[in-house]
Structure 1
Amino acid sequence: MSQESAYIQIVRPIENLTRTMNQIQIGGHDIRAVVEGPQEIQTLATTFNQTLDRVYENETKYREATIQVLQAQIQPHFLYNTLDTIQWQILGGDTDTAITMIENLSIFFRKGLNHGCEYTTLRNEITHVQSYFKIQAIRFPKLHQLSIDIDDGLMDQPVMHFILQPLVENAINHGLRCSPNGNNELRIGGALISPTRLQLTVSNNGQPMSAKLVQKLNDGSYQAGKNSYGIYNIRHRLQLIYNGQARLDFSSTRRQTTVRVILPLVEESIEHGGEL
């Protein structure tokens, strides 16, 4: 594929999507992305439109915290940077990596949409996080590895939607990307700690947190503007959805920083067989 052909077929649709995002950001709620280009980009544009439709449809009836977290996923910052990386990969001739990145971005939005439901399966949460990590690992090569340690028998357990991705994002931005360690690793674990309670953990071996910061995160007094939004949002939604029966705890040593989420098991029917 020539550079001119790549521009027409791939880069131009990406630029059009970026312009659409700019228009939406300034209040163009009726604007939608044009579905054009290769199949991967058409899928991305379609999923992006579906995400917008769901957000706007639920603005007047969905819980405030859930609306905020859905809207956060279509804010320009993450998508701009990802699309910019894809464009440079295409222009540099690395089309295979660009297509992989587009596919992961489509999965990220599709799993994030979740049909507007408060609950999803743990399997879907893991798939959502994996797509996010793969995108970030391409943009930041020092993100070395993501490992999952969860028994397959727990994967269909219903959990609160968007319970893991903000914690993973926090670990990447404030732990792994700040670390001089050349062997950075992110680990996600899950296990039953009683017949009625599930523990999920997100751990990283990057930059440790101070004892003072850990204390503020645990007592809810941490205030750092946008940097604290993801943690605040999770705490707020845990309170709403689990009626005060869920808990979020942080710990940090020189070697590892871990956040633990303790959840009561719920009996919740997940539509579409738990798949999106």
Structure 2
Amino acid sequence: MIRFIESLPKHFVTACISLHRHMAMTISSISAILVTMLLMGVLLLAGGNIDAFTENVEKEVKIHVSIDSLTKDEQIEKLEKEISSFPQVKQVVFSSSEDELNALIENNGAVFSRYKDRNPMPNVFDVEVYKAEDVKMIAKKIESLDGIEKADYGGASIENLISVFEIVRNGAMAVIAALGVLTLFLITHTIRMSIYTRMNEISIMRNVGAENWYIRMPFVFEGMMIGFIGSMIPAAICIAAYSSIFQMLNGYFVSDMFVLKPVAFAYGIGGILLLAGTLVGMFGSFLAASKYLRWRR
């Protein structure tokens, strides 16, 4: 172990010399990784915000239950208790017809004030569920109860919106996985070319008794440096671009229902890109070196 640690600086210098010696190949690999990592960063930022959008939409999904005008107060209390007893229901809030009319006047202007003497608004329950996928089922269940006129929750439009978010998010994750594989391939190919150009040197090292791990380490460092350098610019671009977009949109996308993740999220993505680039570089170079340096003493 001590010998391994002591040899690391030498392997690092050897890797730097090799990268400089094959500058054209190094720049080509870093450029290709830069593009893939930039796409990966954009997709990670988009995917994270889509997750946040989905959570916000699910939180906003409530069932608006209109109570029949002939339903008495005692029955309303029983209905509230019965609906609250459903395991999928998180909260039930009662709002009287007077409260509903006042809210209508407050939100839409005094033009509705003329209805105060003959209030057309029903008593309602606002029902919140734990999971958005249970809304449709609970709405039907509530609507079947005696004393309930109807139960609205936004219907197919909400379900379609959540479905679209899930499709986009899953698609982004699939593309990210593909980009990771592509990055691994690019680094493996670069290290393989580096090994071919140094075959004579490697043969000499093996003949004088160098162990396989000693021969392999410079290539591992090369892969790590290529991955790290190729991730630095995408990380910086993602952080700078997201910060600008966040400030320009004041933290919202289209409406206050779609709240963007804070700028700290972009810094986290930048760190993930750097770590992913370095680890993929290390893994890819290790695979290449292990495959093309299979010598037995």
TM-score, L = length of structure 2: 0.19
Considering fraction of residues, name the structure with more strand: 1
| Max Rg structure | 2
Q: Which has the higher contact order (CA 8 A, sep 6+)?
A: 2
TM-score, L = length of structure 1: 0.20
Considering fraction of residues, name the structure with more helix: 2
